[in-house]
Amino acid sequence: MNNRASSWLTIVITAAVGILFIIWHARLDLLSWIVVAMGILLILPGAYNIITSFTKSAPTADGSTSRAVERRGSAVSSTIASVCTVALGIWMLIQPDFFVELLAYLFAVLLIVYGIYQILVVAYFSRPYAMPWFFYIVPAILVATGVVILCTSVHTMNSVVVLLTGILLLLSAINWALENMTLYPVRMRDQTGG
């Protein structure tokens, strides 16, 4: 997938998640379902890795013992990490309410990281083109909102956090789409030499 298609796919996914968060923000069990989904997403690859680590043969084709020891050591550490991942996933399935409280902090961190990433895209990755100042507004709001959620008691109001996250993800997707539409003609003109 080329860079442009990947960028548009990210925009569409971000907008879709934002819209879903806006639509479902008032559902009391939304965060519990997100925690359960995250638990399943931890269990599946962890279980797969455990199964594949037990089915791999340890000896090498040339009989080298150092490679076999290296592989066995990495298989043991991979298996331990996978068991911990599966255990965390099972814990998330059994006690989702414990993780729901932590999810607001995760959303805040997500907003901060995503805002910083968009600032970097506008400031540095779009070089040598200078982007207009208004493309910095939404990323700055993302970072500020994430900091506010982390530093105040708003994180205890889960529906507000989900609604804010949804609105800001949707605004971010729109902002990023406008950035791409702004840069595309300029880049095409530079590539064709016109």
Give the per-residue pLDDT at 59.
52
pLDDT at 165: 87
d(CA 74, CA 82): 12
pLDDT recorded at residue 181: 84
Instruction: Please give the pLDDT value at position 158.
Output: 78
Count up the domains in the chain and report the number: 1
What pLDDT score does 153 carry? 77
Note the pTM of the prediction, 2 decimals. 0.67
Name the one residue in this structure whose structure tokens are 């076999």. 68
Enumerate residue ranges in the chain where pLDDT < 50: 57
Domain that holds residue 146: 3-192
**Tens digits of residue pLDDT in 48-89:** 988 887 776 455 555 555 555 556 666 778 888 899 999 999
Contact 156, 102 (CB under 8 A): no
Report the pLDDT value the prediction gives residue 74, as an integer from 0 to 100: 66
- Sequence-distant (6+) residues with CB within 8 A of 143 are 111, 112, 115, 116, 119
By the 8 A CB rule, do 149 and 161 touch?
yes
Q: Both tokens of residue 144? A: 């500020």
**Contact at 8 Å (CB) between 155 and 105?**
yes
Which residue pairs from 109-114 have beta carbons closer than 8 angstroms and sit at least 24 positions apart in sequence? Answer: 109/146, 109/150, 110/146, 110/165, 111/142, 111/143, 111/145, 111/146, 111/149, 111/165, 111/168, 112/142, 112/143, 112/146, 112/147, 112/150, 114/139, 114/142, 114/169, 114/172
What is the sign, positive or negative, of the torsion defined by CA atoms of 37, 42, 43, 49?
positive
Report cis status (omega within 30 of 0) of the bond before 128: yes
pLDDT score, position 77: 80
